[in-house]
Structure 1
Amino acid sequence: MAVNMKEVALKANVSTATVSHVINETRYVAEETKQKVFQAMKELNYRPNPVARNLRSRKSNIIGLIIPVQSDDTSNFFFMSIAHGIGSVLKRYGYQLIVSNTNEELNMEREQITMFNDQFIDGLIMAPTSQSHEFLHQELNGDYPVVFIDRKPEGYDKGDFILSDGKKGTYEAIKLLLSKGHKKIAFITGPLGISTSDERLEGYKQALLEQGMKVDDTLIKEAVPTLENGYNLTKELLSSSEISAVLTANNVMTMGVVKCLQDHKKVIPTDVAVIGFDDYEWAKITTPSLTMIKQPSFELGVKAAEAILRRIENPDADFIEMRLQTEIIQRDSC
Structure 2
Amino acid sequence: MGPTIHDVARVANTSKSTVSRYLNGQKVKKDTQEALEKAISSLNYHRNENARRLVMSRTNTIGIVVDNISNIFYSGIIRGIEAVANKKGYNCIFYSGTSNSKQEASFLHLLYEGHVDGIILLSFQKRDQKDLEQMMEVPYPLALIGDHGELDGLFSVDIDNASGVSDLVTYLYGLGHRRVAYISGPAHMGPIKYRLKGLHETMNELQMECRPEWIVSSDWTNQGGYEAMKELLKQEGFTAVIASSDETAIGALRAIQESGIQVPDQLSIVGFDDITLSSWVSPKLTTVRQPLQEVGIKAAEGLFAQIEGTEEVDCTAHLYKPTLIIRQSCTTL
TM over 0.5, shorter chain: yes
Specify the alignment match of 1:326 in structure 2: 322
How far residue 295 of structure 1 moved from its aligned partner, in angstroms, is: 0.8
1:253 corresponds to:
248
Q: Is the 8 A contact 2:179 2:208 kept in 1?
A: no
Q: Contact 2:225 / 2:249 at 8 angstroms: preserved in 1?
A: yes
In 1, distance between residues paired with 2:101 and 2:150? 14
> Could you say what secondary structure the match of 2:231 adopts?
helix
Q: Equivalent residue for 1:132?
A: 128
Say how many residue pairs are matched: 279
Q: For 1:100 and 1:112, how far apart are their aligned partners in 2?
A: 9
Which of 95, 101, 106 aligns to 1:100? It is 95
- Residue in 2 aligned with 1:30? none
Farther off after superposition, 104-113 or 209-218: 104-113
- Counterparts of 1:1-334 in structure 2, within 5 Å, are 55=54, 58-69=57-68, 76-103=71-98, 107-114=102-109, 118=113, 120-128=115-123, 129-138=125-134, 141-149=137-145, 151-154=146-149, 157-192=152-187, 194-314=189-309, 317-334=313-330
C-alpha contact (below 8 Å) 1:237/1:243 kept by paired residues: no
Residue in 1 that maps onto 2:32: none
Unpaired runs of 5+ residues, structure 2, are 1-49
How far 1:310 moved relative to its partner?
0.7
Q: Mind listing any 5+ residue stretches in structure 1 that lack a counterpart?
A: 1-50
Q: CA deviation at 1:244?
A: 1.7
State the AA in 2 paired with 1:266: I
1:305 aligned partner, one-letter code = A
Q: Given the superposition, is the C-alpha separation of residues 107 and 243 from structure 1 closer, same or farther in structure 2, using an over 3 Å criterion?
A: farther
> Could you say what secondary structure the match of 1:100 adopts?
strand
Instruction: Point out the more displaced range, 99-108 or 306-315.
Output: 99-108
Q: 1:190 to 1:260 in 2, by over 3 A?
A: same
Whether the 8 Å CA contact 2:180–2:210 is kept in 1: the answer is no
Whole-angstrom CA distance in 1 between matches of 2:85 and 2:268: 42
Question: What code does the residue aligned with 2:131 have?
Answer: F
In the superposition, relative to structure 1, how do residues 226 and 321 fare at CA in structure 2: closer, same or farther (>3 Å)?
same
Over 3 Å counting, the alpha-carbon distance change for 1:105 and 1:58 in structure 2 is closer
AA matched with 1:65? I
Structure 1 residue 127: Cα displacement? 3.0
Cα distance per residue 1:84-112 (max 9 Å; x no partner): 11101111111111223334998543444
CA contact (8 A) 1:126 1:147 kept: yes
Conserved? CA contact 2:120–2:142, under 8 Å: yes
How much is the aligned-residue C-alpha RMSD, in angstroms? Answer: 2.9
Report if aligned partners of 2:126, 2:147 keep a CA contact under 8 Å in 1: no
Q: Which amino acid aligns with 1:278?
A: D
TM-score, normalised relative to structure 1: 0.74
Cα distance in 1 for residues equivalent to 2:176 and 2:321? 26
Cα distance change, pair 67–190 in 1 and its aligned pair in 2 (3 A): farther
| Shift in alpha-carbon separation, 1:266–1:221, aligned structure 2, 3 A | same
Percent identity (aligned): 27
Are the counterparts in 1 of residues 244 and 272 from structure 2 also a CA contact under 8 Å? yes
Measured after TM superposition, the shift of residue 173 of structure 1 is 0.8
The whole-number CA distance in structure 1 between the counterparts of 2:313 and 2:64 is 22
Q: Does 104-113 or 139-148 show the bigger shift?
A: 104-113
User: Does the 8 Å contact 2:127/2:190 carry over to 1?
Assistant: no
Given that 1:69 and 1:103 are in contact with CA atoms closer than 8 Å, whether structure 2 keeps it comes out as yes
User: Is the alpha carbon distance of 1:326 and 1:131 closer, same or farther for their aligned partners in structure 2, counting shifts above 3 Å?
Assistant: closer
Say which is worse superposed, 312-321 or 205-214, in terms of deviation. 312-321
Comparing 224-233 and 154-163, the one that deviates more: 154-163
Distance 1:256 1:132 in 2: 31
SS in 2 for 1:134: helix
User: CA, structure 1 residues 263+252, in 2 after alignment: closer, same or farther (shift >3 Å)?
Assistant: same
Aligned to 1:171, the other structure's residue is in SS state helix
Match in the other structure for 2:46: none
Alpha-carbon distance change, 103 to 224 in structure 1, aligned in 2, over 3 angstroms: farther
8 Å contact from structure 2 (residues 104, 121) kept in 1: no
State the structure with more CA Rg.
2
